[in-house]
Chain A
Amino acid sequence: MSDFENDFRHAKPGQSGPGVVDYLDLDTKDQTYLDANELVLNMGPQHPSTHGVLRVILKLDGEKVLGTECIIGYLHRGVEKIAENRTYAMFNPYVDRMDYVAAVSNGLGYCEAVEKLLNTEAPPRAQYIRVILTELCRIASHQVWLGTHALDIGALTPLFYCFRDREEILKIFEKYCGARLTTHAFRIGGCIYETYDGFEQDCLKFCDAFLPKLDEYEELLTTNRIWVRRTKGVGILKPEDCIALGVTGPVLRASGMKWDLRKAQPYECYSKFDFEIPTGLNGDTYDRYLVRIEEMRQAVRIIRQAVDGLPTGPIMAKIPKVLKPPVGEVYVSIEAPKGELGYFIVSDGSLQPYRLRVRPPSYVNLQALDKMVRGLLVADVVAVIGTLDIVLGEVDR
């Protein structure tokens, strides 16, 4: 048996290794549960805390998790196959349906990728509008995460607060493009809609009102004794594990890796803005919570700068009426709220993509669940699923 198998798949009770958290040591056999070892329990797919239709098969010793297996695919719609049968412009709305709580980010990644294939770029004004909306979307996505994550752990209030404040963002989206959730806000080559009258004021008003509300969330949770006990030291991921498992986004940053595609390989006009990449120290659930909270603050900073610097000019690049990208293949990725969202597109010079592959952050991050929950309690599985911030629409595609 290789080392890897020892580590990741077949760790048995009584074995220690990288997958086993120290403070709940499995070496000493717990006598409390007599001989009731190895109970297999099914969790989901219809389970409120699996954030959709995730099914997890838990192998338990008493209440301790010995291993998990994720069963996914309940929401599989064959997005990649659909893409091969649609034109580039027709496929654009489909991407909103993958990570539906961050539809704007999905659209941005797709438009970026096709623009790269066409060897063009959105005009500056369109880039600023894109950044403003994407950062608003990041906040909205994190609010959904915070609300549901806190609810899973037992804190009811943040859910109402988050959804109340998220409404303001959705109103801006609605006023901008008519849709709240699956926005289809961007088009290949730029934006189709000019900003409405009062867009800038709405954004700034939201920013001003949101920061105190963010403090309110923190007041409820950050020093809350129950919250801290439920999240500190739970679901630890070390940076090297993150890299090996391909985990990205806030989960990676909470492990102490200062890596954000907006800084590492800036797209759109992110290089023009001044913002920090928050990182954590321990890579546990509590740190991931802090990182995401801080990310919302940084998003507000970016929105303010973008609104202040919003240039005038066209919002659509000159691209042909019928999109026929030249033969070639590109991989373009952006920093979505959940991690690295990539699009690998192969063009054969025809109207439709020859192959379109989505690299979904949720799918790859979910793979780390097994490693994170080994040795924890069943209740912590719920916390860890929440902290990974998965959206099953994106996992299954």
Chain B
Amino acid sequence: MPEETKDPNAVLPESSAPKAPAADASAPGKAPAETAASTPQTSESKPAAPVAKPATTVKPADATKAPPETATQADATPAAKPATAAAKPAAPAAKPPAKPEGPKPEPWDSPLVAKLKAQYGSGIKEASTYVGQKYLVVDSSIVYEILLRMRDDELYDYLVDVTAVHYPKRELQFDIVYILYSFKHNQRIRVKTQIKDGAKLRSAVAIWPTANWLEREVFDMFGITFEQHPELKRILLPDGWKGHPLRKEYPILCQDQEWVKENLGIESGQ
């Protein structure tokens, strides 16, 4: 019991602490803060670390396939290799340029997007690819139509997953994500939509029966209501539970104490 309460407290400061040292590159200050969990990474940034036996060879494979920011890192490290002490400042020095160069979503043009845009106009808010993965952001009023169309006309016949992401600071608080796959085209597409807290969305169960449990889980974890769902009730948590755990305002140690008292007959589950 006591260790459980200690745990998240220990985690949060620890994980937020390295943020500052990481920026000003004081490696010794960071080392004790990050414990066993970070040891794997320790060995990578110093390639000649004692753990990896064959790591002494120069790594041509990495340098060739890596994007520009890792290439600069690769240039820096062989120079610093002979002296392991020198390698330490080299690694953080190479890191700052790597950060801003993260891949950006690129606009995605295809006949499919053009067709959808011609039909729905501003209903299609965004069509992009990110690291080669395609996604559409559509208005919540037409998402059912789009999904139906994706299944019937575009042959995205397999609904891989339905999930949600909570952004409490936005006006449209929730991202609902439908991950689709087409057996014919061997391609994945994510269809996303954004809704307000309390807004309802039409259930996709009539399109894919598999959406049944997936939407129930979204309802359970986020409290998003799907209309025309055959039996929208909690699935992983017990029926009488209050609160939706994957919302950002729900703390990690929170429990429905009333439910615990009533059903388990104990004062607290923690």
- A contact set with B: CB distance below 8 Å: 2, 4-5, 7-9, 72-73, 76, 78, 80-82, 84-87, 89-90, 116-117, 119-121, 123-125, 187-190, 192-194, 243-247, 257, 259, 264-265, 312-331, 333, 340, 342, 344, 346, 349-352, 354-355, 357, 359, 363-364, 367, 396-397
Contacts and interface: CB of A to CB of B under 8 A. Distances in A.
Contact of A264 (B62, B105, B186, B210): B186
Contact of A328 (B18, B47, B105): B105
Interface of B: 8, 11-12, 15-16, 18-19, 22, 27, 30, 34, 37-38, 40-45, 47, 51-55, 57, 59, 61-62, 65-67, 70, 73-74, 77, 91-92, 95, 98-99, 102-103, 105, 130-131, 133, 157-161, 163, 165-166, 177, 179, 183, 186, 188, 190, 205-206, 208-210, 212-214, 221, 230-231, 234-238, 245-246, 250, 252
Contacts of B161: 331, 342, 344, 357, 359
A326 B100 CA distance: 8
Given A90-B37, A342-B160, A120 B70 contact: yes
Contacts of B70: 120, 318
B44 A318 contact: yes
* A contact patch SS: loop
B45 A321 contact: yes
Contacts, number: 213
Contacts of A2: 206
Nearest to B245: A81
The 8 lowest CB-CB distance pairs between A and B, nearest first, are A326-B102, A246-B210, A73-B236, A187-B40, A359-B161, A90-B37, A357-B163, A194-B53
B4 to A, nearest CB: 12
A331 B179 contact: yes
A330 B130 contact: yes
Contacts of A244: 208-210
Given A246-B160, A316-B52, A359-B163, 8 more contacts: A85-B11, A120-B66, A123-B59, A316-B55, A320-B95, A331-B161, A340-B160, A351-B18
B43 A194 contact: no
B62 A314 contact: yes
B177 A344 contact: yes
Contacts of B62: 123, 314, 317-318
Given A5-B230, A187-B40, A265-B186, A313 B57 contact: yes
Nearest to B35: A90
Nearest to A264: B186
A314 B12 CA distance: 33
Contacts of B43: 192, 316
Given A245-B209, A313-B54, A328-B130, A318 B74 contact: yes
Nearest to B54: A312
A352 B131 contact: no
A72 B46 CA distance: 46
Nearest to A2: B206
Contacts of A315: 52, 54-55
A327 B199 CA distance: 27
B57 A363 contact: no
B111 to A, nearest CB: 22
Contacts of A330: 130-131, 133
A321 B59 contact: no
Nearest to A363: B213
Nearest to A259: B183
